[in-house]
Amino acid sequence: MTTASEELLARVIESGHLDEPTAEDGIVRGRAHLEAAGADVTVSIDPELDDDEAEVDAEELIENVARVLGVTEKRWRAIVGEAADDIEDAVGDAEVGEQRDLRDELEATSVVVFADAAVVSLIAPRQFPDSRIVIQLDSDLEVDNIEVVED
């Protein structure tokens, strides 16, 4: 009998979306290229299992991975622009590491995919060297929440 996480791993391998996927603690992880961001990112697929034998809608999770990795460049620029505007408004005149357009500095590093959302982590090493920017996206890739989190 295969567990839900083993089934998900098998479906992820079959889909070809992630390079060298592995499963640990119910989460499938691998690397992928986020074309719109021009970056290779770590992708974690979290089915949010309470116990390993729970049912997993692997197809829905795979579709969400494809949707996030296939985001258009136009939509990606809008997501990054919304995050930059929100952060710049929040920071105001506070001191940052280096003054420059945040949109030019933000680099995607990882994506966590859930059944109904995704969380993208970005870095801005010059302006926020000790933090990362976390953007929660809904299933339509609309921004739900933006946070600057200290590492």
Place of tokens 């949010």: 48
Task: Tell me the mean pLDDT in the region 43-56.
Answer: 79
In this prediction, residue 1 has a pLDDT band, given cuts at 50, 70 and 90, of very low
pLDDT at residue number 37: 96
Least reliable range by pLDDT among 4-8, 41-45, 96-100: 96-100
What secondary structure does DSSP assign to 2-68, as a single string? --HHHHHHHHHHHHT-SEEEEEETTEEEEEEEEGGGTEEEEEEE----SSTTS---HHHHHHHHHHH
Q: Is the whole model's pTM more than 0.85, yes or no? A: yes
Residues of the chain with CATH 3.10.450: 73-150
In this prediction, residue 74 has a pLDDT band, given cuts at 50, 70 and 90, of very high
Share of the chain above pLDDT 90, in %: 72
Residue range 73-150 in CATH 3.10.450: yes
User: Across the strands, what pairs with 150?
Assistant: 131
Residues recorded for the chain: 151
Q: With 50 as the cut, is the pLDDT of residue 132 above it?
A: yes
pLDDT in tens, 20-35: 999 998 899 999 999 9
| Backbone φ/ψ region at 20: left (φ over 0), alpha (ψ -120 to 50), beta | left
pLDDT in tens, 75-117: 999 999 999 999 888 866 555 545 668 888 999 999 999 999 9
